[in-house]
Amino acid sequence: MSQKDIDNFVEKMDFDTPISQEDFKSAIKSAYMDRARQVWFIYKKIKELHPDIDAERIIREGSWDFGLYQGNKIAEKYGAENIGPKEALFGQTSKSGMLVFEQEIKEADDEKAVKYFNACPHCEAIRELGATPEEIRAFCRDMIGACDYAIVHPFPHVEIDFPTTVADGKGKPCRMTITRKKD
């Protein structure tokens, strides 16, 4: 490949043109889906090569560690003692997440914060790979969902729950509910 071929290839990517919100959303969604696919393939390969190993536990604990890392970064920013439901929800909410997961913040105060995830690129990605509804639910609820619980672990005054998830397959959003712990 000549330098001219490389230059033409890069030029076609059109980096000088501002990206639209839809293109931004598509690019971020693709990245989320690729991350889910990668974890799914690792999970399936562990099960194939080492059936005696608890692959679900490996993914769950790795997801927990990832969430704990994120939660500790939020705690460093705000101070763990200062984080209530509203701060916990805002601390783990991003522009890209709002777009890609089609999130809606329904409630955010000192006692309770609720956010709906109306779409899930993780579920969509592994569904495209042939995962069954039961596998999708387990992947979300029993493995990668540990990340969300770990994010709030450093915050002594809050707890999190997901009464519904997209992965449940009942046509309902993930309903992230963060509440203040009762002393």
Residues of the chain with pLDDT under 50: none
Q: What is the pLDDT of residues 33-44, one digit of tens each?
A: 999 999 999 999
Contact partners, residue 35, CB within 8 Å, separation at least 6: 122
59 contacts 135 by C-beta, under 8 angstroms: no
In CATH, what class is 20-180?
alpha beta
- Tokens read off for 92: 């783990």
DSSP structural state of residue 111:
S
Tell me which amino acid residue 51 is: P
- Tokens read off for 158: 């809050």
DSSP structural state of residue 143:
I
Query: How high is the pLDDT of residue 141?
Result: 95
The helix/strand/coil state of 76 is helix
The reported pTM is 0.90
Strand order in the sheet with 112-117: 103-108, 112-117, 174-180, 158-161
> Measured at the alpha carbon of residue 176, what is the angle toward residues 134 and 73, in degrees to the nearest 5?
110
> Domain locations in the chain?
20-180
Q: What is the pLDDT of residues 101-132, one digit of tens each?
A: 999 999 999 999 999 999 999 999 999 999 99
